[in-house]
Structure 1
Amino acid sequence: PDESDLAFATEFGKKIMEKVQTADSMDTLYPVDVRAIKRPSQPFFPLFRFLRRVIKLRKSGTPLPRTPWVEDENLCTHCGLCVVRCPAGAITKGDELHTDEAKCIKCCACVKACVKKARVYDTPFAALLSDCFKKQKLPQTIL
């Protein structure tokens, strides 16, 4: 996130807090049907280019998306930070070198937490998304 994103998130948080504080009861807080939200329009050619490249990657046999892993076992000190930070419980204490692929949600919290940079997440999607979708979409917020 850039500075604009952080400012937007701060303002959004203030609006939510204001709405919750001014509510008299649960009846004044109403649910929002997110299915009714119109999806932002997506230009055809960047989407087509992205899908074409993903299909090419899949045909090449590249596993997509991969699960974060420990590339150099000598770097891992078994400190357990990856275990603590993993919201899905895909890494167990004492077995920090392995990630349960069935549980992993590919959020990269373990990669960011690793101070020794033992955990890596090499995915072609980051480069593909950056290359194919250069124009940033405006965020949609509903209060």
Structure 2
Amino acid sequence: VIAGATFIGEHSYSTDRHPIAVGRPDNSDLAYAQDFGKRIMDKIESANDMDALYPVDVRAIKRPSQPFFPLLRFLRKVIKLRKSDTPLPRTPWVEDESMCAHCGLCVIACPAGAIAKGDELHTDQAKCIKCCACVKTCTKKARVYDTPFAVLLSDCFKKQKAPQTIL
């Protein structure tokens, strides 16, 4: 490995009501990624041989800075949520069956194969990884995943993080 990076993307739990890193990656992020790609290319082109392409330890990438108090507030709220025995949704679901057009976009988008073509109203709980790809691709907004963690993440982490790289 000769380079590594962490880039910010919109959180899979992000919704209009509870936005989490909405619009990320933005134009600034994309420009940063393009510049990073150029720096990798420069590293490759300037190497005389394979031994000159020194490896990097991607574990050394700086974690994006996180203010301490929002993190502490988030952890406190997670503990309170867990202790409250609030039932957590197991999978995304179709809230209003009349909104589902059975287009199959959720089937295609699901990386775990948890939604079957022809049975788009149901999600296999054993296969679902809660990535919300089905929710994000549903053009009719029929699929939802209303988790209390979205509220906590949206409330506690409003400050934008910057991408980090190692080269």
- State the TM-score, normalizing by the size of structure 1: 0.77
Shift in alpha-carbon separation, 1:93–1:21, aligned structure 2, 3 A = farther
Secondary structure of 1:141 counterpart:
strand
- Alignment equivalent of 1:119, drawn from 143, 147, 153: 143
Contact 1:91-1:100 within 8 A present in 2 as well: yes
Secondary structure of 1:74 counterpart:
helix
- Alignment equivalent of 2:96, drawn from 49, 68, 72: 72
Shift in alpha-carbon separation, 1:14–1:78, aligned structure 2, 3 A = farther
Contact 2:95-2:143 within 8 A present in 1 as well: yes
Shift of residue 129, structure 1, vs aligned partner: 1.9
Contact 1:82-1:91 within 8 A present in 2 as well: yes
Equivalent residues, number: 142
- Alignment equivalent of 2:153, drawn from 129, 135, 139: 129
Contact 1:58-1:64 within 8 A present in 2 as well: no
Alignment correspondent of 2:84:
60
- Alignment equivalent of 1:9, drawn from 33, 37, 55: 33
Alignment correspondent of 2:6:
none
Alignment correspondent of 2:126:
102
* C-alpha RMSD of the superposition: 2.7
Q: Which moved more, 1:98-107 or 1:87-96?
A: 98-107
Secondary structure of 2:72 counterpart:
helix
One-letter amino acid of the structure 2 residue matched with residue 59 of structure 1? K
Shift of residue 38, structure 1, vs aligned partner: 4.4
Cα distance between partner residues in 2 of 1:8 and 1:94: 42
Cα distance between partner residues in 2 of 1:19 and 1:63: 52
One-letter amino acid of the structure 2 residue matched with residue 111 of structure 1? V
Q: Which moved more, 1:47-56 or 1:101-110?
A: 101-110
Cα distance between partner residues in 2 of 1:91 and 1:25: 48
Identity %, equivalent residues: 80
Which structure 1 residue ranges, 5 or more long, are not aligned?
none
Q: Which has the higher contact order (CA 8 A, sep 6+)?
A: 2
Contact 1:66-1:123 within 8 A present in 2 as well: no
One-letter amino acid of the structure 1 residue matched with residue 165 of structure 2? T
Shift in alpha-carbon separation, 1:75–1:25, aligned structure 2, 3 A = farther
One-letter amino acid of the structure 2 residue matched with residue 118 of structure 1? A
Contact 2:61-2:165 within 8 A present in 1 as well: no
